[in-house]
Structure 1
Amino acid sequence: MTLEITVDEIGDPEFAAAIEEIVDEPAARRGHPFDPVPLHLKAVDADGRLAGGLTAHSVQRWLFVKLLGVTEEQRGSGLGRRLLARAEEIARQRGLVGVYLDTFEFQAPRFYESLGYEECGRLPAHDGAPQRIWFAKTFDIAGVAKTQ
């Protein structure tokens, strides 16, 4: 059998959905369907200007924070902490077991550690590429955050 591998230059959503179905179907048969649920938090200032936000999705009872961004003007104001705290609150309300995320070594590892996140994985720095560090925080049964 001859197969051809091509590059999807446009990011075809139908193709992405087909691949998700290929991955999800055996997981669902085992009782673990993916069924991602998005979460987007948006922070705006008094003038309606974007100050920051968070994009995430939950799958398999974990919330994955894909992006957490705060504008230069708002850095140091506590907005990042507030966004992450709100995401954690929603995760608890949804009955999730915890939150995980990643950052690069030059970004915010100390920020996440200060919020009780523990490192759970790392891609090494290599040939000019910076380290990527994964963090997680689990919740106990009562919904109070705890570290692993």
Structure 2
Amino acid sequence: MSGNRKILIGTNEEANAVRNKLIEFNSRHVPNGYYEEIHLCVKDDEGEMMAGLNSTICWNWMEIDILWVDDNHRGQGLGKRLLEEAEQMARAKHCTFIKLNTFSFQAPEFYKKYGYEEMAMIEDAPMGYRHYYFKKNLM
């Protein structure tokens, strides 16, 4: 073994390789594993993105990584439509729950309104704010 190992900043390609190696490892321990990225977006007639949702399905759940609505289009129901579409897709893929996280300056009340329950909260993450973790059972 060499004592000359360096830690480097990885590329996106290397990050994907790490993700795939972990998926491969997990699959050896949990048979019938499933992993799929699902990304949704709402565009206007000119093709400009108004809102989007990035998520991943792992085994029996969906994890929503990002739900974003452009400031000029908030309050028009786009976030609700994306969330409902993601929930329908999760059910169709036999997910039993959805999990996500959000900050106090983002949308904790929005998620509560649509049936997401707070599982955990971290104070001062970032400083002066709260970081919430939510879950919604689909079954």
Quick check: TM above 0.5?
yes
Letter in 2 for 1:29: R
CA distance in 2, matches of 1:55, 1:126: 22
Q: Distance in 2 between matches of 1:14 and 1:134?
A: 28
- What aligned pairs does 1:90-101 form with structure 2 within 5 A after superposition? 90-101=89-100
Bigger shift: 128-137 or 93-102?
Answer: 128-137
- 1:15 Cα shift? 5.3
Instruction: Tell me: higher relative CO, structure 1 or 2? Use CA pairs within 8 A at least 6 residues apart.
Output: 2
- Aligned residue pairs: how many? 138
Q: CA deviation at 1:30?
A: 2.2
Q: Distance in 1 between matches of 2:68 and 2:126?
A: 27
Counterparts in 2 of 1:123 and 1:4: CA distance versus 1, 3 Å: farther
Distance 2:137 2:25 in 1: 26
Aligned partner of 2:119 in structure 1 is 120
Q: Residues of 2 paired with 1:19 and 1:53: CA distance?
A: 23
Q: Which range is displaced more, 42-51 or 63-72?
A: 42-51
Residues 126 and 116 of structure 1, relative CA distance in 2, 3 Å threshold: closer
| CA displacement, residues 58-115 of structure 1 (integer Å, 9 cap, x when unaligned) | 0121111111111112100111001000000000011111111110111110000000
Q: Give the TM-score normalised by structure 1.
A: 0.81
Identity %: 30
What are structure 1's unaligned runs of at least 5 residues? 141-148
The unaligned stretches of length 5 or more in structure 2 are: none
1:108-143 deviation per Cα after TM superposition (whole angstroms, max 9, x unaligned)? 100000000001122221682632111110111xxx
Residues in 2 aligned to 1:6 and 1:129: alpha-carbon distance in whole angstroms: 32
Residue in 1 aligned with 2:13? Answer: 13
- Deviation by residue 1:3-52 (Cα, 9 ceiling, x = unmatched): 634131x524135414641x334422222465420111110113322111
- Larger deviation: 65-74 or 124-133? 124-133
After TM superposition, the structure 1 = structure 2 runs for residues 1-148 of structure 1, keeping only pairs within 5 Å, are 2=3, 4-8=5-9, 10-14=10-14, 16-18=16-18, 20-21=20-21, 23-32=22-31, 35-125=34-124, 128=127, 130-140=129-139
Distance in 1 of aligned mates of 2:73 and 2:45: 13
Contact between 1:124 and 1:131, CA under 8 Å: does it hold in 2? yes
Worse-superposed segment, 47-56 or 123-132: 123-132
Q: Is the 8 A contact 1:24 1:33 kept in 2?
A: no
Runs of 4+ residues deviating >6 angstroms? none
